Amino acid sequence: MIISTPPVLARARDEAGPAMRAAVAKLLPELHGPVQYHFGWADVDGTPVPGGGGKGVRPALAILSAEAAGAPATAGVPGAVALELVHNFSLLHDDVIDNDCERRHRPTVWALFGVGDAIIAGDALLTLALEVLFEAEAPGGTRAAAALTRATSAMIAGQVLDMTFETRDAVSLDECITMECGKTGALLACAASIGALMAGGDDRLVDALAAYGRHLGLAFQAIDDVLGIWGAPAVTGKPAWSDLRQHKKALPLVFAWEQATGSERRELRDLLSNGTPTEPAMERAATIIEARGGRECAESFAARELDAAFRALGAADLDRGVRAELVELAHFVVERQS
């Protein structure tokens, strides 16, 4: 299915893009190289690159969230910028931690500029995110800063679980969902509610938007997990079978493990253990995971979470236009191919 790009993404880029560049410009010039390269705004030698950056889902959520509280889109801009900064802090550090050499079809920051630059640039983006919220002096700026801090903390906890799972043979479905809820759900929940928080929206609205974001995050992560095994490198910008390569315990493997026989489990364990698995080993493992329903279960899980996200919106008395844009954005996020 071809999903057209929701107009709110371009609107969010127009609203939050300049604020994003203004925030980054406040960093020491010594950090501009790795940061602008990471955002896709510049080449490794600093030459500006047109376009660039991610899809901007988090900024779009933040802006719709402000509008959900009856505020103008501009009220969501500091939240949009802060979320994008925290998200990119986590990408910079996760790429070092996971030893990932490629992101969005380009070498990662640590691979080009060194581990030290990637660590300190990530640290700088995280503190900059909070500075942006404090400086906004919005009615709900403090609540937003506290919510972003909690979400960041949950995201870090999710990453810790993801790391420890790599050294374990098996992980339960509950453990896997807890990990993904932290790693992806927490920050999307924050993105989807931060605009309402900044604008002083009531608790019921904030909670409904956060629940929508959390379910959307889980749906997104489940699809990302499918792409982490079966995604085409030309599309994902990552190596083939990247999650298997890194011993990730993501949803497809965890679902398949639950259905696998004892001998299949032994085979999977043998195929995926011991350093970097070989290409044929990963191909064989992917075949077993698919045969045991790992791919299908992850896709149905994503569909159920998407549905839960839509139901969560029903708990708030939302403007019809904003609601429709949140629904459209969610479809786009979950049905994307990369």
Q: What SS3 state is found at 63?
A: helix
Q: How wide is the angle at C-alpha 198 spanned by C-alphas 197 and 201, nearest 5°?
A: 45
Binding of residue 131 to a copy of itself (CB under 8 A): yes
Q: Residue 49 or 120: which CB sits closer to a copy of itself?
A: 120
User: Which candidate, 190, 199, 186, 207, places its Cα nearest to that of 67?
Assistant: 199
Q: Residue 68 or 145: which CB sits closer to a copy of itself?
A: 145
In eight-state DSSP terms, residue 41 is: S
Binding of residue 168 to a copy of itself (CB under 8 A): no
User: Which candidate, 1, 17, 78, places its Cα nearest to that of 51?
Assistant: 17
Backbone angles phi, psi at 238, to 5 degrees: -120, 160
- CA 313 from centroid of its chain's CA atoms: 20
Q: What SS3 state is found at 106?
A: strand
Nearest distance, CB of residue 172 and a copy of itself, angstroms: 15
Binding of residue 142 to a copy of itself (CB under 8 A): yes
Stretch that binds a copy of itself, among 125-133, 223-231, 233-241, 298-306 (CB under 8 A): 125-133
Answer for which of 65, 88, 152, 184 binds a copy of itself (CB under 8 A) is 152
Binding of residue 173 to a copy of itself (CB under 8 A): no
Distance CA 314, CA 289 (A): 36
Binding of residue 101 to a copy of itself (CB under 8 A): no
Half-sphere exposure of 202 (CA within 13 A, CB side): 5
Answer for which of 16, 61, 161, 191 binds a copy of itself (CB under 8 A) is 161
Binding of residue 209 to a copy of itself (CB under 8 A): no
First to last CA, the chain: 13
Answer for which of 62, 128, 191, 306 binds a copy of itself (CB under 8 A) is 128
Residue 287 has a CB neighbour count (10 Å cut-off) of 10
Binding of residue 317 to a copy of itself (CB under 8 A): no
Nearest distance, CB of residue 336 and a copy of itself, angstroms: 28
Binding of residue 116 to a copy of itself (CB under 8 A): yes
Residue 127 has a CB neighbour count (10 Å cut-off) of 12
Binding of residue 338 to a copy of itself (CB under 8 A): no
Q: Residue 146 or 324: which CB sits closer to a copy of itself?
A: 146
The residues pairing with 106 across neighbouring beta strands, listed in sequence order, are 103
Q: Residue 274 or 337: which CB sits closer to a copy of itself?
A: 274
Q: What type of residue is 61?
A: L
Nearest distance, CB of residue 143 and a copy of itself, angstroms: 9
Residue 158 has a CB neighbour count (10 Å cut-off) of 22
Cβ atoms of residues 310 and 203 within 8 Å: no
Binding of residue 172 to a copy of itself (CB under 8 A): no
Binding of residue 97 to a copy of itself (CB under 8 A): yes
Cβ atoms of residues 109 and 95 within 8 Å: yes
Size of the site for a copy of itself (CB under 8 A): 36
Residue 17: CB partners within 8 Å, gap ≥ 6?
none
Answer for which of 11, 104, 134, 237 binds a copy of itself (CB under 8 A) is 134
Binding residues among 18-77 for a copy of itself as defined by CB under 8 A: 27-28, 30-31
Answer for which of 21, 74, 105, 150 binds a copy of itself (CB under 8 A) is 150
Cβ atoms of residues 195 and 68 within 8 Å: yes
Query: What is the binding site for a copy of itself (CB under 8 A)?
Result: 27-28, 30-31, 93, 96-98, 115-117, 119-120, 122-124, 126-128, 130-131, 134, 142, 145-146, 149-150, 152-153, 156-157, 159-161, 163-164
